[in-house]
Structure 1
């Protein structure tokens, strides 16, 4: 059970999981809540102390900690990578301590760094954060620049890594030879330009609903960007840069070179197409550019805050106008082409945050740097506070009786005790107690999958299954890789009494070419299909989108085989979003291969629409054109799951 994710196991590794100790003295809900409260507190307090230690004023340090907490990367990845981000400042702080004897520093460094890795092992982020931490230690604690002490720190880091390797030995051995992540080797230039521009316009990659506007999912487009880059860029006292540098001590100049050089190196790895071997010395070949975005944001924020505090800021209406103009230009060019309406306005929230900050600066209530860093923090809080709202953990551990769970339980019972259904993300269905094929496997289950596909060629088999994988059920007749961490398994493999139409839906490199065909109250979709199988048909299940549980009314289905017609209906409040919605027939229909089956689906008694997921029809389709309200729906093929009796009629 030891994997890269920290879980409360009663073994010697618990010593290195301090945020999970509550599971052995509290009820699960309270312990879970304590864990995430501790992670949040560690992040905010740890970064504040770290920034104060390297010379920031208390207000600046506190505001900057909040600003980094409310970045897209931190919030969108929080429930997985929160501990990775929260332990980081403490690992660095202990080496920057001026009071602790060196042997205590090294002992605490060992424990904290091992805890950092064991509580949540994710090298792509930890490698890039370690680089930032090394720059701070070398720049702000001269004792570690001495060769003898540097060797002692390196040996301690090695002992920490060895402890992690021993604890996670089985997991590391099982994943070392995988296609992903074991064989992953990062190259430079992986960050898309729209994500790079988010360091100027921090909310440009997502809208007010926390939906990506540039492709990929919301986690992939979240960066470590704050509004600080544009704010400091507009208000910095550039005339004082040269004189400030001349007056700087050698140590301060070294700190400047370290921060500036670090930013340049990280920009090069993120944006320039460099071969993998260039990253070897810093282990960046294990840190894809998109996973470096948070560490880069931390380094940039540190450099900007220190520069503003040291060089000073200049207020003028012309500079304010420049800032407002740049925000508007970014909004018009990056956000408006991708989305419209109220949810496109989140880019402008930084303007709302800047007004009180500038007022406080002008009135002397806040020093300039604190005001601008505070504006950045307030802007992030307003834009992102709703993504991870504070709420009770008790519903997570409580037993529930809901229409959705009853539906899943019925499907599992009808399928011999195995749930072969999607609709919920990741391993949620397994976490709810179902024996779900749709799952997340951190360690490849090669023996299980070989039993399912004994005829599959070895090379193809390993390419598909030998990886960390989100397992999803899909149409088609062969397993395939959708993304490096996602594989599609033919649903019919685990649903032998089902036929899913279309059998081979059209695809692009990014996945299925599905579209939602909306039905409003009273609307009807009609069509026909040519059956590829004989048997007694028991139910039909269209793939529906219920708007995250907002659809209501009844979906009425009518199936006709020749002159024999059957009608059935069901309350859409029992549906699961973006998955099949089974409508059982009042009696079975006896069908033969090649028979034509006409269908209609109508929405009745609804105040909100429902979506029927459909595909563009290929020329050799087994289904005929679908009509919506009597008009051709661009020859869409509805996604349908037909369930037959176990014994098919020959």
Structure 2
């Protein structure tokens, strides 16, 4: 009988596939990945992003408004739930973006009397030269709102995944699959998903690209490649700088600075000539100088707005001292196995606010025992110390000192650490953690070694013990916290396994476990939404636009957030909205004596409530401004023409009803202000 050759053929095909994969991932003579490997995953992300944008799919929580304007389920909601906590996205940036579209993408938004610079700090779509450095806003120039919002949503996030992959695969050229899994897992870190804004993501994209460029600067034999990476770093430097969110920029810059110092020390040991080092990093330095010049030019054109913003009582004068961390904040920072409690908005050890409590799975930081073993191993063999690993470890220690060691505010001020905050510093910790993971895996691969069982077990055990401690306290004192994350023990074990596998040079298993725990924890933080909920399509918005077109006057929205959102998206002049640098023209008539300057001179949302008399300004929270309204007041009589309200306690003496709209949760009414 003929022998069955199927197993032999199968093994031959498997060997052929492995050989083909090895040839595909074979690095160049300089040890760097070839272009096909470097760009393979970013190309897949580009295809995926193009499909998602074409379908108008995004993660906006604008669907929060659906239950307020319509009955039944939201047909645009594909999966997940809109996040109330993500109001910076759905109630500020998305609403303002639609307002800009309605007004024709001006450089000065005319909603607030006196206008508001569209570039600072809301990062609104507009038509001017600075948009060249706001790539996530390009869609608004050529697409409708649904697709432009999708483009704005996906570009920074996919750029983060692509930059993380290129950094990882530059260090691990034979492991593109591992690099891709870790990159996606990094994107789905809780902090990124809960702070999913361009101002959060671009600093990390810049940092990862800068670190990759520095590696290529020292390793690549191609001058064109070195200049290409430098140009990309220069461009992203301006992108990051024009986002102006210093609390996230500072930690990212510090990580790159310490990384660069470590890398330069290593390369000077290999080639001690200072001129040789400078010739290598020269393109990056030139790009940095050019980017700084562009940024300074931009700031010079925005000097008035910048000065007004820096002169606010909040956040302009905000300074964070060293050593403000606590045991609870430490538990919040390391409690990545409990991330699903943030989706449930359950108060607990991590904190009630999902964004502020979000963190990372610090896999690289838990590998510090392995880093110590690597340093010891190199020193014992009298080989060059791994200064890049040492630099990344040093920046982690610096950030930890900022959090938990008081008394060195002067030094922290020089490093601009006082301009960030405890929770924002986590971005730098997560970035440095990724760097540690990459360099540990690289070292183990290059030397074909693995950390000893006990070193790996200690690294994994430290994480497991930290999660067990949080779980124990929750079980004893806050059992409700665990209702939304009953499998926390499973995520803790998988995370510990990822640490153990990384230390034992099993990166495929480590990357798989890392990807599972991050997506399980944060995969549905943001909903999957088709298009954007556009309030301009509602009857009340159409009525507002029609009335204002016939006789333009200033509006005031009274009551809940829906009134403010409707007025903004309708594009009319209104005294509502989340302001950047306060409009002196607007507040000069609301508070002519500057009695409430401390209350209104801040980055905050402006809302109105019914109350007799002239306007009184207060702050329910440091980023909220509440003003009282009386249609018969001198202010209203002279400056307000129309009112949109859901508050029926309004004194109607000086108000004439125009039209009412019955909505599921309230009745919105349009009034005209009439003489008293």
Superposition TM-score, scaled by structure 1 size: 0.65
The equivalent of 2:640 in structure 1 is none
| 1:342 paired residue among 465, 476, 483 | 483
The 1:471–1:367 alpha-carbon spacing in structure 2 relative to 1, beyond 3 Å, is same
- Mean Cα deviation higher: 346-355 or 3-12: 346-355
Secondary structure in 1 matching 2:161 = helix
The equivalent of 1:33 in structure 2 is 150
How far has the Cα of 1:203 moved from its partner?
Answer: 4.7
The equivalent of 1:556 in structure 2 is none
Superposition TM-score, scaled by structure 2 size: 0.63
| Aligned-partner Cα distance in 2 for 1:536–1:443 | 32
The 1:381–1:161 alpha-carbon spacing in structure 2 relative to 1, beyond 3 Å, is same
The 1:197–1:60 alpha-carbon spacing in structure 2 relative to 1, beyond 3 Å, is farther
How far has the Cα of 1:222 moved from its partner?
Answer: 1.7
Secondary structure in 1 matching 2:341 = coil
| 1:220 paired residue among 356, 370, 380 | 356
| Aligned-partner Cα distance in 2 for 1:273–1:204 | 29
Q: Unpaired segments of 5 or more residues in structure 2?
A: 1-117, 269-273, 445-449, 635-648
The answer to whether 1:468 aligns with 2:603 is yes
| 2:317 paired residue among 179, 183, 192 | 183
How far has the Cα of 1:113 moved from its partner?
Answer: 0.9
The equivalent of 1:172 in structure 2 is 306
The equivalent of 2:233 in structure 1 is 109
How far has the Cα of 1:229 moved from its partner?
Answer: 6.0
Secondary structure in 1 matching 2:119 = coil
The answer to whether 1:51 aligns with 2:186 is no
The 1:537–1:110 alpha-carbon spacing in structure 2 relative to 1, beyond 3 Å, is closer
The answer to whether 1:328 aligns with 2:447 is no
Contact conserved, 2:313 with 2:602, CA < 8 A, in 1?
Answer: yes
The 1:423–1:25 alpha-carbon spacing in structure 2 relative to 1, beyond 3 Å, is closer
The answer to whether 1:400 aligns with 2:541 is no
Secondary structure in 1 matching 2:165 = helix
Equivalences for residues 517-536 of structure 1 within 5 A:
none
| Deviation digits for residues 173-205 of structure 1 (CA, Å, limit 9, x no counterpart) | 332322223323332234443332244321547
The equivalent of 1:513 in structure 2 is none
Contact conserved, 1:208 with 1:383, CA < 8 A, in 2?
Answer: no
The equivalent of 2:252 in structure 1 is 129
Contact conserved, 2:568 with 2:577, CA < 8 A, in 1?
Answer: yes
| 1:243 paired residue among 372, 377, 399 | 377
The 1:237–1:88 alpha-carbon spacing in structure 2 relative to 1, beyond 3 Å, is closer
The answer to whether 1:419 aligns with 2:557 is yes
The equivalent of 2:433 in structure 1 is 300
The 1:425–1:94 alpha-carbon spacing in structure 2 relative to 1, beyond 3 Å, is farther
Secondary structure in 2 matching 1:33 = helix
Aligned length: 508
| Aligned-partner Cα distance in 2 for 1:532–1:432 | 23
The answer to whether 1:65 aligns with 2:183 is yes
Secondary structure in 1 matching 2:619 = strand
| Aligned-partner Cα distance in 2 for 1:183–1:106 | 35
| 1:430 paired residue among 568, 573, 579 | 568
Contact conserved, 1:426 with 1:439, CA < 8 A, in 2?
Answer: yes
Q: Which has the higher contact order (CA 8 A, sep 6+)?
A: 2
The answer to whether 1:258 aligns with 2:391 is yes
How far has the Cα of 1:42 moved from its partner?
Answer: 0.6
- Mean Cα deviation higher: 120-129 or 87-96: 87-96
| 1:286 paired residue among 395, 419, 422 | 419
More strand by share: 1
| Aligned-partner Cα distance in 2 for 1:285–1:302 | 24
| Aligned-partner Cα distance in 1 for 2:476–2:546 | 45
| Deviation digits for residues 459-508 of structure 1 (CA, Å, limit 9, x no counterpart) | xx331222211224458883223443322223x346979xxxxxxxxxxx
- Mean Cα deviation higher: 176-185 or 288-297: 176-185
Secondary structure in 2 matching 1:487 = strand
| 1:575 paired residue among 665, 668, 674 | 665
| Aligned-partner Cα distance in 1 for 2:260–2:564 | 39
Q: Unpaired segments of 5 or more residues in structure 1?
A: 498-530, 540-569, 585-642
The equivalent of 2:215 in structure 1 is 96
The equivalent of 2:623 in structure 1 is 485
More helix by share: 2
Contact conserved, 2:262 with 2:391, CA < 8 A, in 1?
Answer: yes
| Aligned-partner Cα distance in 2 for 1:374–1:300 | 17
Secondary structure in 1 matching 2:627 = strand
| Aligned-partner Cα distance in 1 for 2:145–2:524 | 25
The equivalent of 1:557 in structure 2 is none
| Aligned-partner Cα distance in 1 for 2:632–2:482 | 43
The 1:353–1:133 alpha-carbon spacing in structure 2 relative to 1, beyond 3 Å, is same
How far has the Cα of 1:44 moved from its partner?
Answer: 0.4
How far has the Cα of 1:76 moved from its partner?
Answer: 1.0
Equivalences for residues 12-23 of structure 1 within 5 A:
12-23=129-140
The equivalent of 1:268 in structure 2 is 401
How far has the Cα of 1:35 moved from its partner?
Answer: 2.9
| Deviation digits for residues 206-247 of structure 1 (CA, Å, limit 9, x no counterpart) | 615342525563222222x2162687479x698776325534
| Aligned-partner Cα distance in 1 for 2:371–2:390 | 19
Contact conserved, 2:189 with 2:518, CA < 8 A, in 1?
Answer: yes
| Aligned-partner Cα distance in 2 for 1:69–1:227 | 13
| Deviation digits for residues 605-637 of structure 1 (CA, Å, limit 9, x no counterpart) | xxxxxxxxxxxxxxxxxxxxxxxxxxxxxxxxx
How far has the Cα of 1:297 moved from its partner?
Answer: 1.5
| Aligned-partner Cα distance in 2 for 1:106–1:242 | 34
| Aligned-partner Cα distance in 2 for 1:383–1:165 | 39
| Aligned-partner Cα distance in 2 for 1:248–1:60 | 31
Contact conserved, 1:68 with 1:298, CA < 8 A, in 2?
Answer: no
The equivalent of 1:563 in structure 2 is none
| Deviation digits for residues 383-411 of structure 1 (CA, Å, limit 9, x no counterpart) | 11112233322x34574337x97999999
The 1:436–1:59 alpha-carbon spacing in structure 2 relative to 1, beyond 3 Å, is same
The 1:495–1:96 alpha-carbon spacing in structure 2 relative to 1, beyond 3 Å, is farther
The equivalent of 1:202 in structure 2 is 336
How far has the Cα of 1:293 moved from its partner?
Answer: 1.2
Secondary structure in 2 matching 1:181 = coil
